[in-house]
Chains A and B, each alone.
Chain A
Amino acid sequence: MMGTLYTVHFWIFSALAIGAALAMVTRRNPVAAALWLVNVMFAIAALYVMFGAHFLGAAQVLVYAGAIMVVFVFVVMLLNLGEGDKSEERSMKVALGASMLSGVLAAELLYVIRAQPLADGALRDVPADALAPIADSLFTENLVAFEVTSVLLLVAVIGAVVLAKRGRVAGEVRS
């Protein structure tokens, strides 16, 4: 499974994800940024599949690339931000400081990862029926969390409707 072809594919999708993420962060136009983010999502979905998480790869494409990004693009269209915010000034100082901060964060994370004893020999095999263990765990030990998630989604739906309701800004609800 860990052949040369696997490694080559892994690095192709990783490079795609990182390149698209960099492109997303630097785009001025929100629609372009959203499309680059879709690219990142697809590359990450491919990586999920490579790590044996086929169901989550499909869920990633459906939920992130399919649903969440459509909502983003929808809001961009709704607010008519297509041309991008020309006024978004970029101070060199802020960019430099932020790059340094995130660079330090990346260095710290890489240092921690380097220090971990992660042997590829200890990898578990992906079972032929990879979905059954997930469902088993989800509906037995994590059943309460699963049910709470449904309440969370209900709250999110109601909250979104209340917040985005036309004609009244959230702050004016009580007046």
Chain B
Amino acid sequence: MIREALVVSAILFSIGVLGVLTRRNALILFMCVELMLNAVNLSFIALSRLHGVSGQVFVLFVMTVAAAEAAIGLAIVISVFRHYRTVDLGRIRLLRG
């Protein structure tokens, strides 16, 4: 089942990439990034059945980083929204307002 799990993980990651490339709503873009992180986690877990428990420890760290990233990213989205009144990445062109 390891190979099948890796296939599912690859498909989920590609769907995440598709979302990051097509969506322009900053929030949905963040969700797609979370989806990509999850896909990678799935392959870590599947391979931990072959290579021991360190894969699971790594997933724990990835989860922590994802939580930190979501907090910071959403804070940035809020602060950008206050400035531009939109979360459409097509209309946010300047980092410096």
- How many A-B contacts if CB must be within 8 Å? 231
CB distance A79 to B78 under 8 Å? Answer: yes
Which chain B residues numbered 26 to 43 have a C-beta less than 8 Å away from chain A? 27-28, 30-32, 34-35, 38, 41-42
Q: Contact size class for A?
A: 35 or more
CB distance B2 to A118 under 8 Å? Answer: yes
A residues in contact with B82, CB < 8 Å: 169
Contact with A along B52-85 (1 / 0, CB 8 A): 1110110111011111111110111111011100
Closest to B85 in A: A79
Q: A30-B28, A145-B61, A164-B78 are in contact. Are A44 and B3 (CB under 8 A)?
A: no
CB distance B4 to A2 under 8 Å? Answer: no
Question: What secondary structure prevails in chain A residues at the interface with B?
Answer: helix
Contact with B along A127-152 (1 / 0, CB 8 A): 00000011001100010010001001
CB distance B71 to A160 under 8 Å? Answer: yes
A residues in contact with B64, CB < 8 Å: 149, 152-153
Question: What secondary structure prevails in chain B residues at the interface with A?
Answer: helix
**What is the number of residues of chain B that contact chain A, defined by CB distance less than 8 Å?**
71
CA distance A75 to B79 in the complex (A): 11
Q: What's the least CB distance linking A101 to chain B, in Å?
A: 6
Contact of B87 among A53, A79, A98 (CB under 8 A): A79
Which chain A residues numbered 74 to 117 have a C-beta less than 8 Å away from chain B? 75-76, 78-79, 81, 84-85, 87-90, 94-95, 97-99, 101-103, 105-106, 109-110, 113, 116
CA distance A132 to B27 in the complex (A): 37
CA distance A30 to B87 in the complex (A): 11
Sample of 29 A–B contacts (CB below 8 Å): A7-B1, A10-B1, A14-B8, A18-B8, A25-B22, A30-B25, A48-B42, A51-B45, A52-B49, A53-B48, A59-B63, A68-B34, A71-B71, A72-B27, A75-B77, A78-B78, A79-B77, A79-B87, A88-B23, A110-B7, A116-B3, A118-B2, A124-B50, A137-B54, A153-B64, A155-B68, A161-B75, A163-B78, A164-B74
Closest CB pairs A-B (n = 3): A98-B21, A156-B68, A109-B10
If A64-B66, A71-B74 are given as contacts, then 4 extra A-B residue pairs at C-beta distance below 8 Å, sorted by A number, are A11-B4, A102-B15, A113-B10, A134-B57
